Structure 1
Amino acid sequence: MSWDIWTRDLWALPFATMEAWRRALELPLEPHREGPHWSTPARLVLEVGLLRLWDFSRDGGDAAPLVILSPYALHDAQLADLAPGHSLVGALLARGCTRLYVVEWASATAQTQLYGIDNLLAELNVAIDEIGAPADLIGLCQGGWLSLLYAARFPKKTRRMVIVGAPIDMRAEPSVLSEPVDRTSDFALDRLIGAGGGIVRGAHMAPLWPREDCAEQRIVDALQIAPPFDSATVAAFQAWDRRLLDLPGPYYREVIQYLYRDNLLAAGGFRALGRPVDLRALDHPLFLLAGSQDGVTPPAQLLALKDIVRRDVETAVAGCGHLALFMGRRTLENEWRRIAQWISGQEADGGR
């Protein structure tokens, strides 16, 4: 399998070598490409700092808002609405989740280059207030731990959460990201941030992320389709894959230190907007979706949350890798069908 090339020898990973760091830091800066390009009609309802809130709703009525938090990492929010048949947004709308929003995070600029995790939480809080709390949250990858932080900091503004492919407990199982991060020196981090003038450039990050050797296999794994491919779908995926986000230096450093090195989300001690938060205090309905072949976030890193929170947790493990959790055809048809039913089935339990 394509994931095997990432797990045979962690020290053989491209981003774990000094040569890869040298290549990454010598890349010329490229202008940020505009995006995302939604496949489902949407309107922009709020823009503040790094956050853009998009409304995909279809006559949602009095239903609680359902908010998809995209990851603030290498790629943009179109992973939630890539193309027909590969759209989480489309799958949820078709299954009755009709009051639906997506949080998009923008590339860092000179105005936002000093942003940290607290800035993202504050802007998310503004967005939730804008559409009306309490809200249901779907956190994808890095958006998953941010959803949990928000719910722990503002428990009355959150009803239930779906956490998908998110790194929660780094000690539960090593990944193609967590172990090399542990071995990366502060000097290397300083160089990476300094090379972008205080911003971690997507062009610098891209060589440090794991990737299949074969471009065709990457499409097969991510979209769960077989050749011959639909040209429009592949073009949408490749355009998304090429669009890279730039991240604020402080945010990037905090994620590396607090989440990956110190494991504060699982161990406790994470501070959010001036207060310590503890996931053990969470009492929200939770659904966890992991990928059995996910080398970026192995299932154990996410499913460890079951032993941290104090209530029963629904879980599903899809037979796929990381990207297919969000855009894979089979995963959207199967696991996300169950999740949509779970969201709708608890509609009557109200807020807290």
Structure 2
Amino acid sequence: MADTISISMAGQTEVDGTMAQPLIGETGALFNLANHHTQSIFKTHAEQLAQRVAEIDALTPELVGDGAAEAFGAYVGDVMQRSVLFLDLLRERGNSFIAREKEGFKPVLAFSYEMVCDGRTRSKPVNYAVVRITPPKGFPPQQDDKRPFIIIDPRAGHGAGIGGSKIDSEVGVALRDGHPVYFVVFFTHPEPNQTLGDVRDAESEFIIEIRRRHPNAPAPLTIGNCQGGWATMILAAKYPQIMGPIIIAGAPLSYWAGEVGKNPMRYLGGLSGGSVPALLACDLGNGKFDGAGLISNFEQLNPAKTMFRKYYDAFSDPDKKGGEFLSFEEWWSGFYYMNEAEIRWIVENLFIGNKLTRGEAILNGEIIDLTRISSPVIVFASHGDNITPPPQALNWIADLYLSVEEIRARGHVIIYTLHDSIGHLGIFVSAKVASKEHRELSSVIKTIEALQPGLYEMMIAGEHGNFEVAFESRSIADMLSHDDGREDEQKFAAVAKVSEWAAKSYEVAVRPAIKPWVTQQSADALAAINPIRQRRYVFSDRNPYMEPVAKLADEVRNNRLAAADGNPFLRFERLQADLVEQSINLFRDTRDAMLELTFHAVYGSPWMRAIAAANAPPQQSHDVVDFPEVKAIMETIGHGGYPEAIVRMLVQLARARGSISRDRLERTTRILFSRPPFDSMEPARRVAVLKEQTIIVELDPERALKTLPKLLHDDVDRIRAVDVVFDIAGVASEMDPATIEMFKAQQRVLLTLPSEWYRRPAAAGLNGGHQNASEAPAPAT
């Protein structure tokens, strides 16, 4: 977004910024953006309102016709009973909140667990621990030689446990497959002087202990949910040697990214004073940041749902939905704290500064370099996630790597998969997501080591448990297609600089006037009167006016007379609820539009654009052929033996094919790793061979093919190698033309055909009619 804001939405206004006259500049772009928002809001809400009015008109005859009086009487009785039951739900929520607050907000895991390591006992104590999940009755026993699963939940105001708050969850999927499952939990208050660097080091000790407990198992799989995703990534960057595969689910890493007209949350920092609100909150909290503030911000993102719909759903059917309401509120109502050093690092390096993926974030005196991560990384994001939209979950890949060739040259495997519609919390708690995406993600971990370095999109097709998984090769441009361009990110460089100035001004002019007046008692009192806590205190047994509610609720349950589902007045109530929700959504959409317009008006001004240009991240230039490691690998292009030849041939076929199915990947793992010499290789050596041969094939495919005979010195090895590759490639009907052509080229250069083809004349079409090695053409020179 250099001079204008480019918007392209289906069925909406489309503006090509490159066609705008330079003099129009930002003003013209703002006009186009305002026009887009106006049309979009009007179209969406006008259509919804028309639909609701039509439904009410169709229902009106039933509200005044025969039987209406009887239906109204039944409805009034039902409403009165539901009101009592709903009030009792609020009372139970309040009592639960007070009880959990008193005991210290334990994790909301739906499973029993035992403590493994408690970070509070370290020489540098932290409020983190790792527990081992105990399988419930009916689950298979855990097998200690299977890959352990480690789940790191977000510490973003709420407590730990959301990834295992249901039986059908990330935890449940792993337990049903017999994996040992560990969960990283944390406690309400941080330890004094605790830093995120201390937390990272403690988590590394947790993983080392888990690996010690499972010496015969593959390296653990670590799952980082939401903010736990970046925590997992900085852990893997510091300690790559102890990490196994990584899944980051709904995890933001590229904080400036997003689509214009669609992702308003990223603008809040620039319009609210940068890091100053967090510093002020820490000062008023006597050095601690109250997580209730973060939860309040989350609620403001979708106020119709958090302020109305979830309450109405519980009110509309307290008999069936009451338990679900209380279960969710148990987690949502857990408010956790951070030290100032922790929240300040997060805000300045991630939310505002976006330094992590630019290699500028410093933790404990060391620069965090995410390119040091050697483990396969799987990214799970959703188009329906308004907290971590796909650009924020994916664009870090383009920040770190200029091309897929660089990803391959570094020997890295990055996979992403996208859900069409699930919301942010649904990524962790939805039973449907657990039964499909998380199950398939867990299953592919078994064979991911056989996947050559590169960038892939994991495609999941099918339904009702019969899923087919394939890995499609992707380019950086393919991945960036989920964004509408990155030009608008330049303005956030100005936001980061203004935030730095504001923080320095605050520390000089405001902080000295506040801190002397703050005590722990004043901080506790301020936390207690926070509206989000007061809503729970008021509707609890602390309030004497709530005393008769429990008894009334018991009487209602014993004499429940629910209105029939087809009661016209009940249906009218639901339509009215839809209208209320829509009116709040109208407010939200208008508010978000104004926020976005204000942001671009302020940070699109010439002064701010000059600040952004002066503070924009430098252009990176990575020439992979100049990497010392790559040079050393390319010098070995004509050296090696039987294992290097087989891996090179498989990489060549995969490169020609452009994708690989899970079945073929599993066949590769099963056949390749069960045969000599691969069966006796250390896993690290197998990964190294795959990385080396991928680099060779990627950077010099012609020489990689021509030098194959130098790796296989005799006819026996050549026949064995071609036979193995043929077994893995599968029958001819599974090969596409590009794969067939590459297989022919390998046969020609090796003067060898697979022995199976001698016994199957039908395969002659694949080798150009040659029936034996002596008839195969000589390699091209």
TM-score, shorter chain, exceeding 0.5? yes
Distance in 2 between the 1:214 and 1:173 partners? 22
Q: Which moved more, 1:126-135 or 1:318-327?
A: 126-135
Name 2:733's counterpart in structure 1: none
Q: How does 1:216-231 map to 2 (within 5 A)?
A: 217=309, 229-231=320-322
Question: Does the CA contact (< 8 Å) of 1:97 and 1:344 recur in 2?
Answer: no
Name 1:198's counterpart in structure 2: 287
Distance in 2 between the 1:126 and 1:279 partners? 20
Is 2:439 the counterpart of 1:337? yes
For 1:340, the aligned partner's letter is S
Q: TM-score scaled by structure 2? A: 0.38
For residue 227 of structure 1, report the CA deviation from its aligned partner: 9.9
Identity of aligned residues (%): 21
Name 1:3's counterpart in structure 2: none
Name the CA shift for 1:313/1:200 in 2 (closer, same or farther; >3 Å): same
For residue 218 of structure 1, report the CA deviation from its aligned partner: 5.0
| Partner of residue 344 from structure 2, selected from 253, 259, 271 | 253
For residue 79 of structure 1, report the CA deviation from its aligned partner: 0.5
SS across alignment from 2:112: coil
SS across alignment from 2:245: strand
Question: Does the CA contact (< 8 Å) of 1:44 and 1:55 recur in 2?
Answer: yes
Comparing both structures, which one devotes a greater share of its residues to strand? 1
Name the CA shift for 1:338/1:317 in 2 (closer, same or farther; >3 Å): same
Is 2:241 the counterpart of 1:156? yes
Name 2:427's counterpart in structure 1: 325
Distance in 1 between the 2:291 and 2:242 partners? 33
For residue 128 of structure 1, report the CA deviation from its aligned partner: 1.3
Name 1:291's counterpart in structure 2: 382
Name 1:39's counterpart in structure 2: 110
Name 2:150's counterpart in structure 1: 67
Q: How does 1:117-156 map to 2 (within 5 A)?
A: 117-132=196-211, 134-156=219-241
Name 1:184's counterpart in structure 2: 272
Distance in 2 between the 1:350 and 1:274 partners? 33
Q: TM-score scaled by structure 1? A: 0.81
For 1:342, the aligned partner's letter is V
Question: Does the CA contact (< 8 Å) of 1:97 and 1:340 recur in 2?
Answer: no
Name the CA shift for 1:321/1:247 in 2 (closer, same or farther; >3 Å): same
Task: Give the CA RMSD over aligned residues.
Answer: 2.9
For 1:250, the aligned partner's letter is A
Name the CA shift for 1:60/1:273 in 2 (closer, same or farther; >3 Å): farther
Name 1:232's counterpart in structure 2: 323
Name the CA shift for 1:325/1:254 in 2 (closer, same or farther; >3 Å): same
For 1:271, the aligned partner's letter is I
| Partner of residue 127 from structure 2, selected from 19, 27, 50 | 50
For residue 166 of structure 1, report the CA deviation from its aligned partner: 0.7
Number of residue pairs the alignment of both structures matches: 317
Name 2:186's counterpart in structure 1: 105
Question: Does the CA contact (< 8 Å) of 1:212 and 1:218 recur in 2?
Answer: no
For residue 264 of structure 1, report the CA deviation from its aligned partner: 1.3
Structure 2: runs of 5+ lacking an equivalent: 1-36, 39-97, 120-125, 135-140, 213-218, 402-406, 450-668, 670-681, 688-781
For 1:282, the aligned partner's letter is I
Structure scoring higher RCO (CA < 8 A, sep ≥ 6) equals 1
SS across alignment from 1:213: helix
Structure 1: runs of 5+ lacking an equivalent: 1-7, 10-29
Name the CA shift for 1:63/1:288 in 2 (closer, same or farther; >3 Å): same
Q: Deviations over 1:133-189 (max 9, x none)?
A: 743211100110111111111110112100111111112216454321233324422
Name the CA shift for 1:88/1:233 in 2 (closer, same or farther; >3 Å): farther
SS across alignment from 1:126: helix
Distance in 2 between the 1:82 and 1:219 partners? 20
Question: Does the CA contact (< 8 Å) of 2:106 and 2:187 recur in 1?
Answer: no
Distance in 2 between the 1:91 and 1:229 partners? 26
| Partner of residue 78 from structure 1, selected from 151, 157, 161 | 161
Distance in 2 between the 1:208 and 1:139 partners? 22
Distance in 1 between the 2:112 and 2:143 partners? 15
SS across alignment from 2:349: helix
Name the CA shift for 1:251/1:37 in 2 (closer, same or farther; >3 Å): same
For 2:378, the aligned partner's letter is F
Name the CA shift for 1:344/1:97 in 2 (closer, same or farther; >3 Å): farther
Q: Which moved more, 1:57-66 or 1:194-203?
A: 57-66
Q: How does 1:5-44 map to 2 (within 5 A)?
A: 31=101, 33-44=104-115
SS across alignment from 1:54: strand
Is 2:197 the counterpart of 1:115? no
Distance in 1 between the 2:166 and 2:334 partners? 16
Name 1:301's counterpart in structure 2: 392
Name the CA shift for 1:132/1:182 in 2 (closer, same or farther; >3 Å): farther
Name the CA shift for 1:256/1:227 in 2 (closer, same or farther; >3 Å): same
Name the CA shift for 1:218/1:123 in 2 (closer, same or farther; >3 Å): farther
Question: Does the CA contact (< 8 Å) of 2:375 and 2:413 recur in 1?
Answer: no
Name 1:21's counterpart in structure 2: none
Name the CA shift for 1:302/1:124 in 2 (closer, same or farther; >3 Å): same
